[in-house]
Amino acid sequence: MKTEILKLNKAGSPQAWINYEDAATAKSKGQVLWEMGSLAISLRGGFQNSGEQSQLDIPAIIAVKGRVVEQMVPQISNPVLFARDDHMCLYCGHTFVAREHSRDHVIPRSRGGRDVWENCVTSCRKCNNYKADKTPEEAGLELLAIPFAPNLYEWFYLDNRNVLTDQMEYLKSKFQNVFVA
């Protein structure tokens, strides 16, 4: 399992999942304003004249210097959509592996439906084919959950399923929607 470090801006908004090498570089260059969370990795370097080995501790969360830019939730993508819906078909309720999922537009695109978070759900291929170019009501299907656009903090959680406990606590404190995880 590859541990990723949650990089925040100085205002505390998530900016990216970065590898420990990039976090070490930021820390070495003095770009880290504050850090929090438990130790994610401890890097050991060369030996000093005193015989002591150098060490650089990388925490789970770092905030870096720089301009604060309003970051929007990225556009919808299938992996994050499937994670949002907990890999469950929102029509029949069965859970599937990713290759058996499809993206369904609640209001079909051919009928003016948009390709946005609030109009897309995870569907198994069978339900998606059955629904075809109809609304759920016209196809006699009922949505098991209301599709929503995750906020930035929810999106960062959904985008990385190897979230450390401290990272999860930080992100979860800003969740606005309730979803099965």
CA distance 180 to 116: 20
Query: 120-156 pLDDT, tens per residue?
Result: 999 999 999 999 999 999 999 999 999 999 999 999 9
Domain residue ranges of the chain, discontinuous segments joined by +:
5-72+152-172, 78-139
Query: 41-59 pLDDT, tens per residue?
Result: 999 988 888 988 889 999 9
* Domain 78-139 fold: DNA Binding (I), subunit A (1.10.30)
Q: Which of 167, 173, 178, 151 is nearest to 17 (CA)?
A: 167
| Bridge partners, residue 94, by sequence | none
Which run of H or of E encompasses 169? helix 165-172
Residue 48, class by beta-carbon neighbours within 10 Å (0-12 exposed, 13-18 middle, 19+ buried)? exposed
Given a cut of 60, whether residue 79 has pLDDT beyond it is yes
Q: Which pLDDT belongs to residue 45?
A: 86
CA distance 99 to 49: 56
Q: Which tokens hold the place of 149? A: 């656009």
Query: 99-122 pLDDT, tens per residue?
Result: 899 999 999 999 999 999 999 999
Given a cut of 70, whether residue 86 has pLDDT beyond it is yes
CA angle 155, 161, 164 (to 5 degrees): 100
Q: Which pLDDT belongs to residue 180?
A: 45
